Amino acid sequence: MRQLFWISGLPETQKNFGVQTMRVYLDYNATTPVAPEVLDAMLPYFTHAYGNASSIHSPGQEARLAVENARESVASLIGAKPAEIVFTSGGTEADNLAIFGVAPGATGKRHVITSAIEHHAVLHACEKLQSDGVDVTFLPVGSEGIVDPEDVRRALRPETALISVMHANNELGTIQPIQEIGAIAREADIYFHTDAVQTAGKMPIDVNTLGVDLLSISAHKIYGPKGTGALFVKSGTRLEPILFGGHHERDRRPGTENVAGIVGMGRASAIAARSVIDTASRIAVLRDRLENSLLTAIPQCGVNGRRDMRTANTSNMTISFAEGESLVIALDLRGVACSTGAACSSGAVEPSHVLKAIGLSPEDGRSSVRFSLGRETSAAEIDFVIDVIPAAVDHLRELSPAWGKVLPVR
């Protein structure tokens, strides 16, 4: 049964006898819809082209060809060689394969350097290393949410096996100085991994320019299917498997290939590569328009992280005296989907580890929301969101005893 609800204060174009007629999705950092062209490419591999890519008969070789064509597309997206791409079940597995496959397994060294604002796929993997007796240095970040390369240099030890610093933060969008860190890693002859889940397909990437040995990406962040990802492994990098079975993926990741998912990731990569710069430029204009309008319309409101070094689609804002989870729910009822941070952390009582790392108070951390735009986001949708959010914030603030003690100035 379709749920009906009436939202006061919406323009007449958004009312239809109590039914909300516009839905705006601003949580593209959590996931993206599968592009129609991607779905079309995948469908045959669920039906008549169902061969196992490891089989030597014709159906198997048809599947193998599809996998290798996809490998070429994924490699091209990041400036890699096809043989350097290992398909995985997603970004989390790619991160884990990089971390456990190199440190300390392939090196024998027992120290790892990472940052305090990594995705949990990296943080929890490093915490597991700690429990196994590996020393881990968690580098701090300042209020801008960016790692200082000199902190990386100062953390180096003779026993350092791996540096893992994400390319862009999933909550703030802040882009890390990967090229500078890569130079430090090369100088010290230490493996360097970056989680590029939030940048691949959103900005130009060349693994050789970045100077990384390992790089993780995920299909469902670039309009591909969930459950498929890849790890770039630079030629010559010693990588031990973390799963055991057959000889798939050149003995780096056993298991029957998810042919349909891999094909979808390949097609999504090819689509992203065609328009990454133009799409990012258009989205950045819409993101800034949203952000600046809210800063003007809502008192006690600010942007988290450095604004000039971010992915084009991401805005993380603290709206004081409006609890983040409540605001997300209120906006959802008004037709706007956003988040308080990483999707895998939603529902957590404590503020995000990222927001704590940049120095936000617990109160401000719990009053922060993330808006992440996508290539389907339109100017009309942003105008709708700009119109809806201030009223939702005002309503929540009226319910806050703390807000009653503050004299807002508009």
Closest Cα partner for 288 from 173, 144, 365?
Answer: 173
User: Residue 64 and residue 51: Cα distance in Å, rounded?
Assistant: 8
Interior/surface letters 69-80, b for 16+ CB within 10 angstroms, e for the rest:
ebbbbbbbbbeb
SS (H, E, C) 102-137: HCCCCCCCCEEEEECCCCHHHHHHHHHHHHCCCEEE
Please give the sequence-ordered ranges of beta strands (E in DSSP) within 141-262, or none if there are none.
Answer: 160-164, 191-195, 214-218, 229-233
Instruction: Give the alpha-carbon dihedral of 222, 224, 227, 231, to 10 degrees.
Output: -50
User: Residue 253 and residue 101: Cα distance in Å, rounded?
Assistant: 10
Helices (runs of H) and strands (runs of E) counted in the chain: 13, 12
Output the CA angle 45-53-218, nearest 5 degrees. Answer: 70
User: Residue 140 and residue 276: Cα distance in Å, rounded?
Assistant: 31
User: Residue 236 and residue 248: Cα distance in Å, rounded?
Assistant: 18
Q: Where are the alpha helices (DSSP H) in 196-352?
A: 207-210, 248-251, 259-297, 324-333
Instruction: Assess whether 126 carries a catalytic annotation.
Output: no
Q: Which of 126, 301, 338, 344 is catalytic?
A: 344
3-state secondary structure of 138: strand
- Is the Cα torsion angle 52, 56, 62, 63 positive or negative in sign? positive
User: Which residue reads 């048809």 in tokens?
Assistant: 62
Strand pairing of 191-195 and 214-218?
Answer: parallel
User: Residue 234 and residue 295: Cα distance in Å, rounded?
Assistant: 43
Do 308 and 339 touch, CB atoms closer than 8 A?
A: no
Do 283 and 381 touch, CB atoms closer than 8 A?
A: no
Which residues are designated catalytic? 344
